[in-house]
């Protein structure tokens, strides 16, 4: 009765894009010192940390607009994979004080980005067909 896959795709895209963009704006305002620390601690070159601006600012804007959302969602997925492994390492299955995995938020963004990849951007996007 109330089935509209394009509205569902829009809700998923906006949820992922807007929430990721908040993280990106925070990094623009407060810097990426923490990300640089995690990247260098993992033995990677420091300039890799600047990829967070792409993954948390530029790509979410593309996802929100529905402009090459599938490609952008792959970039966000890679950003979240890096975030999970850099921030949580081998303890990514550890539980927090409320019983949820400590890496639950980046994992949720990873799953949402995979959803956008597999579903596409839908009718309500700049790339609609």
* Distance in angstroms (rounded) separating the CA atoms of residues 57 and 79: 11
The stretch 12-21 carries a mean pLDDT of 97
Q: How many domains does the chain have?
A: 1
The stretch 8-37 carries a mean pLDDT of 96
Structural domain of 67: 5-119
Segments in 1-129 forming alpha helices (H): 5-30, 33-41, 51-53, 59-65, 69-88, 104-119
Residue 129 lies in a domain: no
Closest CA to 16 of 79, 101, 108: 108
Residue 126 lies in a domain: no
Residue 124 lies in a domain: no
**If you average pLDDT over every residue of the chain, what do you get?**
92
Residue 127 lies in a domain: no
The pair phi, psi for residue 92, each rounded to 5°, is: -70, -10
3 state SS of 101: strand
Residue 54 lies in a domain: yes
User: What digits encode the pLDDT tens for the residues 80-111?
Assistant: 999 999 988 867 678 888 888 888 899 999 99
Residue 125 lies in a domain: no
Distance of CA 14 to the CA centre of its chain: 12
Structure tokens of 120? 């596409």
Position 1 confidence tier, pLDDT thresholds 50, 70, 90 = low
Q: What is the DSSP letter of 95?
A: B
**Predicted local confidence at residue 99, as pLDDT:** 81
Is pLDDT of 75 > 80? yes
């Amino acid at each position: 009765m109330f089935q509209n896959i394009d509205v569902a795709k829009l809700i998923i895209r906006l949820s992922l894009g807007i929430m990721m963009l908040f993280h990106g704006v925070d990094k623009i305002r407060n810097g990426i010192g923490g990300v640089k620390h995690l990247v260098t601690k993992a033995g990677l070159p420091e300039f890799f940390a600047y990829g967070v601006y792409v993954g948390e600012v530029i790509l979410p804007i593309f996802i929100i607009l529905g402009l090459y959302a599938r490609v952008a969602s792959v970039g966000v997925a890679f950003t979240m994979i890096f975030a999970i492994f850099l921030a949580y390492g081998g303890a990514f299955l550890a539980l927090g004080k409320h019983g949820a995995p400590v890496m639950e938020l980046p994992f949720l963004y990873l799953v949402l980005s995979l959803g956008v990849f597999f579903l596409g951007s839908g009718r309500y996007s700049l790339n609609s067909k």
